[in-house]
Amino acid sequence: MIKKILSSNPLIMLIFSAVVLSAPIWLTPLGANYPDLLQKFAIFGIFAIGYNILFGLTGYLSFGHATFLGIGSYTAVWSFKLLTMNILPAIILAMIVSGVFALVIGYLSLRRSGIYFSILTLAFAQMAYSLAYSVFTPITNGETGLQLSQQDPRVLDAMAGIAVTDGIPSTNLFGTLIKSMDGYFGFYVAAVMLIIAFYISLKIFRSPFGMKLRAIKSNQTRMKYTGFNTRPYLLTAFVISGMYAGLAGGLLASIDPLAGAERMQWTASGEVVLMTILGGVGTLIGPMLGATIIKYFENIFSALNDSELHNIFDFLPAGMQEFMVTVVSPFVGEGWHLTLGLVFMIVVIFLPGGIMQGLNNLFGFIKRLFGLGGSSSSAADTVSKGEAS
């Protein structure tokens, strides 16, 4: 009975929402409570959750998902330029346009599987990046990046009689509801989107559709022999994850209305793969954890310098302090990639199931410690496995 309640959708959603919305409180001791980073946590969480629907469920490793993130951003900025500063149309358009691109790229790439699929998506992504960087300069403004200007038409805003007198107007949600996407407002908008995105992902994980995707992962040939045409399911998963990426891109642009081609570079595509693997492929919240950890490293570790390290190791005697600072300093600041690489290696070697596997082992250990019996599954267990019982 308890098991049933613990793994029920409403409870999981309740806990998830509480954790996400209270992030500004529990991230304060970690030095991560500032709007920009919180927004990144939420947005890249969405990106990773969406990516996981493709990679986690079907096992198809796409190396080109940043393309859809970039397309989402460009679409959203164009919506701000041409239609309105309201973020809702921008986000919806971003999802639709990246969905269309995902349909085309997915249709072509999914003719192959395994490494060939990965290479195809990578090729498409590099193509999109190069196009955005140079050929499509009139649409993307190339290296400089697409930006707003005061002279933009903003047709819908003009029709609603919103006159722009001084400076570039800020992105908003229906003008009065949320006047500016700056700071914590931006985070809460992204957080609500994250919760909705998570809910949809939860539903997909626990639906027959999710089951079919998992069947593709475990043995596609057998599935075909039983009479299933797997291609439509794969394509649907690909388009859904592309739209998630588009949503993330649209949100990025809503909070900071600028779109640059580097958002589509292969490193950005690789990043989401890292996030998913680090957190735990195919688990519900693993990818989000991975996204949070990577963004935390990128923003906090990269900004540490020697003087701050001295503060951290202040409690040690002088000699030890010097020693610790010397040892640690190559791993922070510009060396944060090194730390991330090490963490990634450790996780992949010792916890192939990602951080979620580590957490599960920990829960299992605690349960055995209190003699609660090994086989019953807790909420965390269920969430991590995303079982479709």
Partner 1 sequence: MSKKTPTLDRRGFLKASVATSMAAAAPMFFIQNSYAGSHAKTFRNMPKADAKSVTLGFNVPQTGAYADEGADELRAFKLAVKHLNGEGDGGMMNTFKPSALKGNGVLGKKVEFVTGDTQTKSDAARNSAKRMIEKDGVLMISGGSSSGVAIAVQGLCQEMGTIFMAGLTHSNDTTGKDKRRYGFRHFFNAKMTGSALGPVLKEEMGTERKAYHLTSDYTWGWTQEESIKETTEGLGWKTVKTVKTPVGAGDFSQYITPILNSGADTLILNHYGKDMINSLTQSVQFGLRDKQVNGKNFEIIVPLYSRLMAQGAGKNLQGILGTTNWNWALTDDGSKAFVKSFGKEYGNPPSQAAHTCYVQTLLYANACEVAGTFYPPEVIKALEGFKFDGMGNGATEYRAEDHQCFKDVLVVRGNDKPTSQFDLLKIVKQVPRSAVEYEAKIFGGELGPYKV
Q: Shortest CA distance to 5 belongs to which of 341, 286, 377, 346? A: 377
Instruction: Give the contact letters, 210-249, x = binds to partner 1 (CB under 8 A), - = no.
Output: ----------------------------------------
Provide the sign of the torsion angle of the four alpha carbons 236, 237, 242, 248, taken in this order.
Answer: positive
Structure-token pair, residue 157: 């805003």
- The reply to whether 137 sits near partner 1 by the rule CB under 8 A is yes
Minimum Å distance from CB 174 to partner 1?
Answer: 12
207-220: burial string, b at 16+ Cβ within 10 Å, e else: eebbebbbbbbeeb
- The reply to whether 88 sits near partner 1 by the rule CB under 8 A is no
* CB-CB contact of 35 with 256 (8 Å): no
In whole angstroms, give the CA distance from residue 181 to residue 171. Answer: 6
In whole angstroms, give the CA distance from residue 170 to residue 239. Answer: 31
Which is closer to partner 1, CB of 10 or CB of 161? 10
Structure-token pair, residue 129: 């990046």
A 10 A CB-CB count for 376 gives: 11
* CB-CB contact of 39 with 255 (8 Å): yes
Minimum Å distance from CB 309 to partner 1?
Answer: 14
- Contacting partner 1 within 256-315 (CB under 8 A): 256, 258, 260, 262-263, 299, 302-303, 305
Backbone angles phi, psi at 367, to 5 degrees: -65, -45
Q: Shortest CA distance to 148 belongs to which of 259, 35, 69? A: 259
- The reply to whether 331 sits near partner 1 by the rule CB under 8 A is no
- The reply to whether 376 sits near partner 1 by the rule CB under 8 A is no
Contacting partner 1 (CB under 8 A), which of 191, 247, 251, 380?
A: 191
Residue 359, H or E segment: helix 354-369
- The reply to whether 207 sits near partner 1 by the rule CB under 8 A is yes
Minimum Å distance from CB 370 to partner 1?
Answer: 26
Contacting partner 1 (CB under 8 A), which of 6, 35, 52, 274?
A: 35
- The reply to whether 29 sits near partner 1 by the rule CB under 8 A is no
Q: In sequence order, what E strands does the chain have?
A: 146-147, 258-259
* CB-CB contact of 256 with 51 (8 Å): no
- The reply to whether 326 sits near partner 1 by the rule CB under 8 A is no
Contacting partner 1 (CB under 8 A), which of 69, 87, 195, 359?
A: 195
Number of residues this chain uses to bind partner 1 (CB under 8 A): 60
The identity of residue 27, as a single letter, is: L
In whole angstroms, give the CA distance from residue 269 to residue 63. Answer: 6
Choices 14-22, 43-51, 113-121, 368-376 (CB under 8 A): range interacting with partner 1: 14-22
Choices 120-128, 154-162, 164-172, 322-330 (CB under 8 A): range interacting with partner 1: 164-172
Q: Residues interacting with partner 1, by CB under 8 A?
A: 4, 7-10, 13, 17, 21-22, 24-25, 31, 34-37, 133-134, 137, 142-145, 147-150, 166-168, 170, 182-185, 188, 191-192, 195-196, 199-200, 203-204, 206-209, 256, 258, 260, 262-263, 299, 302-303, 305, 334, 388-389
